[in-house]
Amino acid sequence: MFSKKLLSFTLFSILMAPFQTGIAGEMGAKEGRFDVYIPNLPASNEFSAGAIFLRPGGSNDYAVLVDPFNSNVPTPILSPSWQPEGIDPDFSAGFSLNFRHVFPESGNDINFYWAHLRTTDNGTFPVNRAAPPAQQMAGPFWNVGPDAGTTSAANGQLQYRYDVFNTDLAKHIYFDPNLKTRIFAGVSGLWLEQKIIANFSGIDPILGPYTFGITTKSKYNAAGIRLGIDGEYQGFYNINAVGLLAGNLYIGSQQPSTGATGTGSVLAGTGIPVNHQSISHKSFVQVVPALDAKLGLKYSRQSNDKLFSIEAGYMAAIYVNAIQNYVPSTYVPGSLGIVSGAVFLQSLLKTTDSFSVDGPYVTASLKM
């Protein structure tokens, strides 16, 4: 029995030998040995400011192009094709601010981070109104049938408002000789708004000119928990590789709304120069999981008791099902549709989409 225990202990010692670690702050790299330890960091404060150039992503479609279109052909109409038209957002400039305080001789820190972004992008597309069979038409997703065939112009605008604020506590763990990591946990706040504006116009052969615009807006304000890891790998010439990966779980208020405005001869004849309609919904609680990451390079230079750093790389984040809207689905058969400047809805549709941002960033930091 004793020999079996001795054999087991010997095998265990052999297997664990490569992973022996020192968990003392004063320990450092040992020649020919891999160490994992919590460093005794001195007290310090680090201030960072950066520029972010992010491209928002979500549900960016606002209209449909129908090709070909000929309202004079008896039903069934010429076999058309439908092409959704969307707005492709560009990279837009924002900023980030960060403050970190390291507690002395503990390997712990507290970190505050804020990112701010506002974007506006526009889109339009040509609609061929030549004689059939080259004639095309356009319209919103729910009004692309023959009765909307005189819509000849469409344009859209996409707006985003995005703010995220993170507060986390971290434990520093060093993997000698080259890797420094922070394992952190904390809380996060998210303020997100998407607005899509779509405008349509045309000249109906009977009703005359008309316009119709529809605006969908989704607002999500939430707070949640955050858990992740970031690291810095020592390279050459004071240039290190840096990275971050974090998961978030938000709980907050979702507020979708849709509004429409229209003009036309039918409305004007009843004393309504501009018609206003809306789909409103009270706010409700929504849970949103999220993931954010970054990868970059960092150059640092020591000057007396101060450390100056410049970091640049690529960052991305995704918020699952953070955008929700209620939009028209079908309207009452026999009603005139958008050519009258107003609609009478038969059914609504709830849409759900994720939101993402990605793009390059650059930050400057001063540690003292």
User: Tokens 């993402």 appear where?
Assistant: 356
Question: In this predicted structure, what is the pLDDT of residue 89?
Answer: 95
Report long-range pairs for 21-29 (Cβ below 8 Å, ≥24 apart).
25/105, 25/107, 28/176, 29/176, 29/177
**Which has more confidence, 27 or 118?**
118
pLDDT band at 1 (very low <50, low <70, confident <90, very high): very low
pLDDT at 232: 97
Question: Residue range 235-248: average pLDDT?
Answer: 96
* pLDDT tens-digit series, residues 10-64: 444 444 444 344 333 444 444 556 789 999 999 999 999 999 999 999 889 999 9
Percent of residues, the chain, with pLDDT higher than 90? 66
- The per-residue pLDDT for range 53-106, each reduced to its tens digit, is 999 998 899 999 988 776 666 555 567 888 999 999 999 999 999 999 999 989
Q: Residue 21 domain-assigned? A: no
pLDDT at 22: 39
What pLDDT digit, counting tens, does each position of 192-218 carry? 999 999 999 999 888 999 999 999 999
Residue 139 counted as domain residue: no
What's the pLDDT score for residue 329?
A: 87
- Helix H, strand E, coil C: the string for the chain is CHHHHHHHHHHHHHHHHHHCCCCCCCCCCECCECCEECCCCCCEEEEEEEEEEEEEECCCEEEEEEECCCCCCCCCCCCCEEEEEECCCCCEEEEEEEEEEECCCCCEEEEEEEEEEEEEEEEECCCCCCCCCCCCEEECCCCCCHHHCCEEEEEEEEEEEEEEEEEEEEEEEEECCCEEEEEEEEEEEEEEEEEEEEEEEEEECCCEEEEEEEEEEEEEEEEEEEEEEEEEEEEECCEEEEEEEEEEEEEEEEEEEEEEEEECHHHHHCCCCCEEEEEECCCEEEEEEEEEEEEEEEEEEEECCEEEEEEEEEEEEEEEEEEEEEEEEEECCCCCHHHHCCCCEEEEEEEEEEEEEEEEEEEEEEEC
The distance from CA 7 to its chain's CA centroid, rounded to whole angstroms, is: 57
Is the pLDDT assigned to residue 330 strictly greater than 70?
Answer: yes
Separation CA 307–CA 368 (nearest Å): 7
Measured CA distances, 278 to 140, 163, 259, 293, 326 (Å): 16, 27, 4, 38, 10
Judge whether 19 lies within some domain. no
What pLDDT does 15 receive?
A: 40
331: in domain = yes
pLDDT at 283 over 60: yes
> Which pLDDT score is estimated for 77?
56
At 34 the pLDDT is 73
Q: What domain range is 261 assigned to? A: 36-58+92-131+155-367
290 lies in some domain: yes
| Total-model pTM | 0.86
User: Cα–Cα distance between 285 and 204 in angstroms, integer?
Assistant: 44
Determine the pLDDT at residue 133.
76
CB distance 175 to 223 below 8 Å: no
pLDDT of residue 296: 98
Domain-located, residue 25: no
CA-to-CA separations, 57 to 115, 118, 187, 289, 358, in angstroms, rounded = 17, 13, 24, 16, 8
CB distance 359 to 59 below 8 Å:
no
Is the residue at 148 inside a domain? no
Which of the residue ranges 89-103, 121-135, 256-270 would you say has the lowest mean pLDDT?
121-135
Q: Are strands 92-102 and 108-124 parallel, antiparallel or unpaired?
A: antiparallel
Nearest-CA neighbor of 213 among 153, 271, 265? Answer: 153
Contact 123, 158 (CB under 8 A): yes
Q: How many domains does the chain have?
A: 1
Backbone angles phi, psi at 164, to 5 degrees: -135, 135
Domain of 240: which CATH number? 2.40.128.100
The whole-angstrom separation of Cα 76 and Cα 10 is 84
pLDDT in tens, 216-227: 999 999 999 999
Domain annotation covers residue 16 = no
| Residue 130: per-residue pLDDT | 82
